[in-house]
Structure formats: structure tokens, C-alpha cells
Amino acid sequence: MSGTTCGICERNCAVPEGGEGACGLYRRRGGVMEERYPHRYLVATPVSVETVPLLHYRPGAVVLQISTTGCNLCCPRCISTTLVREMDGASPALWHLSPEEVVREARNRGCSGVAFLMNDPLASFFTFREVAKEARRQGLAAGCATNGTFTREALETLLPHLDFVNLGLKGLSQEVYRACGGSSVAPVLRNLRALHAGGVHVEVSCIFRKGDEKTLEEVARLLRGVSPSIPLQVMRFLPFEDAEASLEPSIREAEALCAALRRDSPFVYLFNSPGTPLLHTLCPVCGRVLYRRDFYGPMGARLMDAAPSLSGARACGGCGAELPFTKGEAFREAEFREGDFLGGYPFTRALEMVEALLIPLGVRDRGRVVRAWEEVLTGDGLMRLHREVQRPESYPGLVRRFGALVGAPREARELASYLEDRMDRVRLAVASAPRRPRAYYAMGKALFALKGERLENNLVELAGGESVNKRLAFDGRPGATLEARTLNDLNPEHLFVSAFISSSREDLLRDCQEAGVRVEATRRRQVHPHPAPGWDFGSPRWILGLLHLANCLHPDRASFDLTSEAQEFYERFYGREFSPSGLNRSFAKPCRGWRWNP
């Protein structure tokens, strides 16, 4: 690609000789644009195709996820901020792999394809094109998740090597694309039509913000005009970074929207909503459940099972209606599982958890954070992190270790001592309780149970309760949807809901009533959302959630003043006042107004 403009994406940056475009990922040399960090990967790991996410392309297949760093756009409130803005392509945490080595890794790990996701392939266009070409040459599929802002010329060179694409729409207005550094949605829609006409399997994802129902209706109508077989993935908005919490629609609101859209567009799916049945595929003719899926972390799904006569087929086993699926394996759910922090967007949450450890230690520059990330990404660092963040007793040691790593041992000792002191106060408060009330921990909807070994359930036990989640044996990330009878048999006296993906008490009670859940917790209305996001997982603020749990489980013995405790925590460790109105779902950032040093 030569000339005066970059020619890779529709930002159309004018780049002089030796200069870089706005994304900082390419420079012009000898009149030609080249990547600054070619063939350098942060992630290369097998994932299910539903993690891309793709729902109609070879359901259950396993592909090798590859991810680099950076992005051609600069979208506010990006779910992948840690990768696209805060991790540098020159970091030693990235490793070099040739296209041949990538494809060899895919083959060795039993993958049927290669997928570029989490950051955009437009950040590493030439690298991805070479990998896609090599994958196709060796008989593997190739595809990506992308914002779709390729120039016409760039897409033409990539199109012959693509099998599948998840195309993410930011919206349909000029304003939303200009906020990301682009111009308009027009090039994305042009590329959508070109991909479909070129025989590429296309699925479209679009974020749903509260009050934006008309946009999603228009997107569904637009897709029907291209092809009614294109699935629409509705991504319920989760407010990260500086996003207003008021923009987050409830799960019930998002379900109502998707149910309405399905009347004209049968292949509409709802993400970021644990426990929703709107991840299942129904036959558009007879209504039979063809593929059953569950929540699998932010922007991910998990294939649970397929209708027996459908496996590998493209027709409904009930009525014989033809289905718009790319033929595939339809593996059973036990066939493959990603690691806890490996694959898809949970990886970015792990990086955020490291930030969340460091910010209360006074770390304000990203260079120190990157050094900590590099430690976590070495050897078994991710697995060790996952183990240690789940146990409240090991968390102070984790704080001290990272404090020493980034040169903040005194601040780490202060935070660790604070955590230990509050845990001791809780133990003392509940020690004489005559019994441990049964408590159940959900995420999103009432029937989505968190895995027993997670931090939330360990906090329940530290707060003097019995975690009934620990009686459950299931696999999933971060849990799985139960049958109502299973929850009824557990009969919890208290129902808690995750502070990360949550619902109101009223919505949870309605969920239970509609699903036939009849337990002590609902009869007594002992259903407890957390007072603030971030209070039970992902950041040291879980200590405030522990105090809340103790108050709920043992009100006769624990009476912690949560407002004053939160105020003290924020003043001591963030240097600011606690303001509930300034909080959102970010693990790392303590409030919307928090900023890194320049």
C-alpha cells in the first residue's frame, strides 16, 4: 500500500515518509506502510468458536485465538482497553511467531481454524493477512472479530483468505464513529455487504445501551435487507472506564428488546446476560430448541448441547426446515474448555485485576503496570493469579508480592494490613453465631450460579454463611445456569447477586417467580444485590462486600457502617471521596473520573 494515505482503514491518515498514522501501529518507509510490531502476539490459545463469538459457524468447533495489541480506532469505554491502549506492542510479554508457526500451533492444539479477536486485526493487518493466507493454504479456516473499517482496497486483498467474520457495529450514527476516530458507519456497511457477497460467514454484533432500542431495531431491519440468515448478537452494554452507569440496561430490559426483535429476525441473540435463554437457537418454523448455550464471560457464549438429530446437519430435526448454519462438529460441552483466564475477554479482566491491585498502592503510571503484567504473563503466572484472587486469605500476600514488584512495598503493607484487619473483625463478629445460614450466589439472573470455588462464595463462608454453591458440581466460566428444581432443593435462606453483572432485587424476585423458584430466600425477601459495583470480585474492594455479606447473614452480630467504611477505603487508598454515583462496572478504575498520569 503506497501513496500519501495509509490505506489500511477508513481513518485514511495522511502519513509522510518516516511518519506514523493516528493509531501509531504503522509507519511509512520507502513509500510503503509497514507494521511496527509484525508477528508479535500477546495471546495464542485454543478457544471454542462461540468465544469469538460466532454462533452459526461450525458450532462447537475449536479455533486458535490470536491477539496482538493496539487498535486502529480509539473508542471510549472499550472493553479491551488494557490491550488496545495500555499494553505496548514492544512489550517483552509478547512473543514472535511466524505465520507457519501460528498454523502449526493451531494444528498441534487440535484447532480447525485461526481467529483474530480481542483487539482488531486492523491493528496488525499485514500479520493477520499472512496468517489467514497460510491457514487456508494448509486447509484450516481463518477469520476474525473486527470493527469492519477496512478500506475497500484492504478488504479486497484479505477477502480471498477469510472464512468467517464477527463484524462489530458501534451504532449507525456519524457521531458514534467520530467519537471512535472514524468518519461514519458507511464503510462498515459497505464491507458487510462485500463480505456477505464474497461468501464469508458473517455475524454482526451491536452494543445495546439503555434507551437505544430504535438503533437495534434499525440494525435488525438493515441485516434482513442484506440477508435474513445473518445473526444479530446484541451486546448488553456494561459500563467500563468512564462510562455512565445509567447507560446499562437491565437484563430484563435487554431480553424484552431481543424478544421483540425475534418476531421479525429469528436469529437475534443476547450476550452479557448470565442465565438468559436468548442465547439459544430456536427453529424459526417449529420453535424447537436446536442449540442450547450459556453465558461464558463478557461477550462470550458456551455451547451446551445440540438437538440430537441436528448434529452436523443444516436442517431442523423436528420439522426439516433448512437452517443457515455452516456445517460443523457440534461438539458436546465436555469436549473442550478454555482455561479460567485464557481465551476471549476474561483475559482482559485478568489484566484489569492486576491494575486493581496496583492503583490503591498509588501506582498512576502505566509503565509500572506493564511490568506487573509481564510478570503475570510469564510461565504459570495467569493460573497462579487465578488461584490467589479466589481466596481472601491469600489476597494480602498477593498485594505484598505485587507491591514489591512495582516498588511500592510500604503501600502494599498498608493495604494488606487493612484487608487482614477487616477480615479479623468479621471473624470476631460472627464467631459466636449459633448456625451458618445457607446462602446462594448468582450472577445476572437468579438461576445462573457462580462456581463454588470462586471468591464470592469464599466470602460468604468467611462472613459466617454456608455457601450452597459449593454443593454444586458443574463446569463453566464463571458458572452455569441451573434448573429451578436444583435451586429449590438447595433451599437457600439468602440469595446474593454478583456486583459485576447484577440485577435489582425486584428483577431477581420476578425471575424466581417466573421460573418456579420457591426457596426460603424469596419467601423472606432475603435477596441482596451489593450496594456498589466492584464489591465482591476483581479488586480489593471485595473487602467492603465482605462487610455487606456479614451484615446480611448475621444482622444481630454484624452492623458494619458500609458508607463510612467505603469512605475510609476510598480516602486511604484512592485519595478521593466515595461517591456511589461515580461508580461503574470497572474492576480496576475506582471511579469514572480516575485517570492515569500522562
pLDDT tens-digit readout, 223-234: 999 999 999 999
Other CB atoms within a 10 A radius of the CB of residue 96 amount to: 10
Which residue positions in the chain have pLDDT lower than 70? 1-3, 77, 84, 308-313, 327-335, 339
Do residues 400 and 412 make contact, with C-beta atoms less than 8 angstroms apart? yes
**Residues contacting residue 423 through CB under 8 Å, at least 6 positions apart:** 392, 393, 462, 543, 546
Give the per-residue pLDDT at 1. 46
> Rounded to whole angstroms, how far apart are CA atoms 45 and 174?
36
The x, y and z cell numbers of residue 16, run together, are: 509522510
463 to each of 25, 165, 234, 315, 457, how far by Cα in Å?
49, 46, 37, 52, 10
Residue with cell 482503514: 9
Share of the chain above pLDDT 70, in %: 96
384 to each of 274, 361, 388, 412, how far by Cα in Å?
26, 21, 6, 19
How many CA atoms within 13 Å lie on the side-chain side of 594? 28
> Rounded to whole angstroms, how far apart are CA atoms 8 and 73?
12
Give the per-residue pLDDT at 15. 95
The partner residues of 466 in beta bridges, in order of sequence, read: 438
Give the per-residue pLDDT at 146. 97
pLDDT tens for residues 14-23? 999 999 999 9
Give the per-residue pLDDT at 501. 96
Give the per-residue pLDDT at 87. 77
The x, y and z cell numbers of residue 577, run together, are: 471521596
Give the per-residue pLDDT at 334. 40
> Rounded to whole angstroms, how far apart are CA atoms 246 and 19?
41
Record the pTM: 0.95
| Sheet-wide strand order for 43-48 | 43-48, 62-67, 113-116, 141-146, 164-169, 201-208, 232-236, 268-271
Give the per-residue pLDDT at 327. 67
The full DSSP string for 162-219 is: -SEEEEEE--SSHHHHHTTT---SHHHHHHHHHHHHTT-EEEEEEEE-TT-HHHHHHH
Do residues 47 and 2 make contact, with C-beta atoms less than 8 angstroms apart? no
